[in-house]
Amino acid sequence: MSCSLLVLLAMAGGVGGALAPTVSWAGIPTTTGVRLAVQPADESASLVVSARRDLSAPVATIRVTRDKFVVDVQGLAPETQYYYGLAADYAAAGGARAAEFRTPSASPRAPFRVAVGACGWSSGNGAVFANIAELEPRPLVFIHAGDLHYQDIGEDSLPRFEAAFQGVHAGEAAQLFRTVPLMYTWDDHDFGDNNAMGSSPSRSAALAAFRKYVPATLAGEAGEGVYQSYEVQGVLFIVTGAGHVCATKTCVRNAGGRVACGSYQTFADVHWLQTCARRATRAPERHWGSGKGSGFWGCFHGGRSGGL
């Protein structure tokens, strides 16, 4: 799939001593908690979260390993800047490597900035990403709408997907991911081959890697999709990722004349959307973002209307 929407950024280089984490980013915080993914280069390490840039007086210290490094942190305060990193790595780097995030305000009407982008080539658009990371006021949320990388992995290979995530965090996107919380879903190139859908041989490995590396709060923690919803300062964000549960991009009309793509959009996803909307503290505006092609949400006008 071809994309013209870009948004991402810069990297953290190595410093002598302890190895820097191979992956480091934050999911969307609530007023009192956050999900982090920090993969140590060593077998295990201590992840520290603090309201101080030097990571002193930590509010949480959690052991992470190479295989288990997505963790939930609770007991945070609203509208507060927090810093996090691996304790040994931070000390070896002379305090230069702490990542950060800000918890949202408890007010449902407090203004905030959102950055949106997609289609992050392996290299070449780093200046765009660096600019986003340096915006003032800094975005509270960064939405990555897919194609985090262009590895086009068309096989059921978890090691290849793991290498792709690590490559992204060793490249031009690293600084943005270390400074702005992320909302992310697949497109095609980071799920399988070009134009890949749910029938791709890569599906199982792509899902396993997503759950292992991405600090997302998924609607179904044990399900097959990666759909998510977050309410931030009164704004409801919904991330469907619907196309990668469907086996084809082709719109099919059933006997009743309704457009459908398997059962996902017509039943499970719409029910989930309605549940999200009912939980919102105030009625959200209806803004839809979708990929191109007949198999995405653009094909399901009835589902969109019924969902929200």
Cα dihedral 254→257→260→264 (10° resolution): -90
Share of the chain above pLDDT 90, in %: 48
Model confidence at 263, pLDDT cuts 50, 70, 90, reads very low
Q: Which residue has the higher pLDDT, 259 or 208?
A: 208
Model confidence at 221, pLDDT cuts 50, 70, 90, reads low
Could you give all domains of the chain from N- to C-terminal order, each with its CATH number? 23-223 (2.60.40.10)
Sole residue written with tokens 């262009």: 150
In angstroms, the CA 24 to CA 21 distance is 6
The residues facing 218 across adjacent strands are 228
pLDDT above 60 for 260? no
As given in the structure block, the two tokens for residue 26 are 């934050």
Of 216, 214, 210, the residue nearest 161 (C-alpha): 210
Instruction: Give me the pLDDT at residue 23, please.
Output: 95
What Å distances lie between residue 169 and 27, 123, 165, 214, 258, CA to CA? Answer: 15, 12, 7, 12, 43
The residues facing 188 across adjacent strands are none
Model confidence at 242, pLDDT cuts 50, 70, 90, reads low
Most confident of 67-81, 94-108, 114-128, 208-222: 67-81
Q: How many Cβ atoms from other residues are within 10 Å of residue 224's Cβ?
A: 14
Q: What is the pLDDT of residues 99-110, one digit of tens each?
A: 999 999 999 889
pLDDT above 50 for 266? no
Q: Which residue has the higher pLDDT, 75 or 172?
A: 75
Burial of 128 from C-beta contacts in 10 A (0-12 / 13-18 / 19+): middle
DSSP class of residue 293 equals S
Q: What is the pLDDT of residues 159-189, one digit of tens each?
A: 999 999 999 998 888 889 999 999 999 889 9
What per-residue string of b and e applies to 82-95 under the rule 16 or more CB within 10 Å gives b? bbbbbebbbebbee
Q: What angle is formed at CA 260 by the lines to CA 272 and CA 206, rounded to 5 degrees? A: 65
Instruction: Give me the pLDDT at residue 277, please.
Output: 67
Sequence-ordered list of residues with C-beta below 8 angstroms from that of 259, at least 6 positions apart, any chain:
251, 252, 253, 299, 300, 301, 302
Of 194, 214, 220, the residue nearest 292 (C-alpha): 194
Distance, first Cα to last Cα, the chain = 28
